[in-house]
A = this chain, B = another copy of it.
Amino acid sequence: MNRIEPRSGVAFELPRGAELTVCDPEGRQVSDLLAYNAQDVREVISNGRTFDYEETLRLGKGNRLWSNRSTPMLTIIEDTVKQHDFLLTPCSEDTFRHFYADKPVHRGCFGNLAEALKPFGIEPDAIPTAFNIFMNVPVDGDSGLIAVKPPESRPGDRIVLRAEMDLVIGLTACSAYDSNGGTFKPIDYEVN
């Protein structure tokens, strides 16, 4: 397993057919995932296209994550939590100022992803809503209200995703207080 240290992020190529395992080693931690077509990074993961085709906000084993060009990018082939978020954008300097005005500003997952993705020619403006692994965002169907709760993931919980095309992946150990219950922990991953 490779380790993503607390409040940091990585980017790497994931060839078609490869399997990416993302593991929460200590429990109650979130990992923001982005995916781009390695041959043309203008093709990018899309929450809206995924909701279109999967017809649910709650994605788990068997669901696919789709691109803005209506192509499947990743298939979830194993999932011990089945509680992930695809509604909210990566935490950033702006979200720290907004939500944690009394705490030090951090560049957050957004800044970590922007730096990690830069060598692949991906600009900060090309960072969309991420697939937030293990993130617990309950939705009230009547009012529409959403909230960010601590993840239900326990130590060793994992998700495995198979690449359906050659991808560039961005992946973080989340930096925000609310999304991981107020602590900052690592994320582990491996490619098989």
Contact = CB atoms under 8 A, between A and B. Distances in A.
Contacts of A144: 56-59, 139
A105 interface: no
A98 interface: yes
Interface of A is mostly: loop
A128 interface: yes
Nearest to A140: B141
Interface stretch (A9-17, A89-97, A152-160): A89-97
- Oligomer copy total: 2
Report, as a range, how many residues of chain A touch the other chain. Answer: 35 or more
A57 B145 CA distance: 6
B43 A125 contact: yes
Contacts of A145: 55-58
Given A53-B98, A139-B141, 13 more contacts: A46-B128, A46-B129, A47-B87, A52-B98, A56-B144, A57-B87, A57-B145, A58-B143, A68-B89, A128-B128, A129-B129, A139-B139, A139-B144
Interface of A: 42-44, 46-49, 51-53, 55-59, 68-70, 87-89, 92, 94-95, 98, 123, 125, 127-130, 138-147
A69 B140 contact: no
Of A59, A69, A87, the most chain B CB neighbours within 10 A belong to A87
Contacts of A48: 47, 87-89, 128-130
Contacts of A42: 123, 125
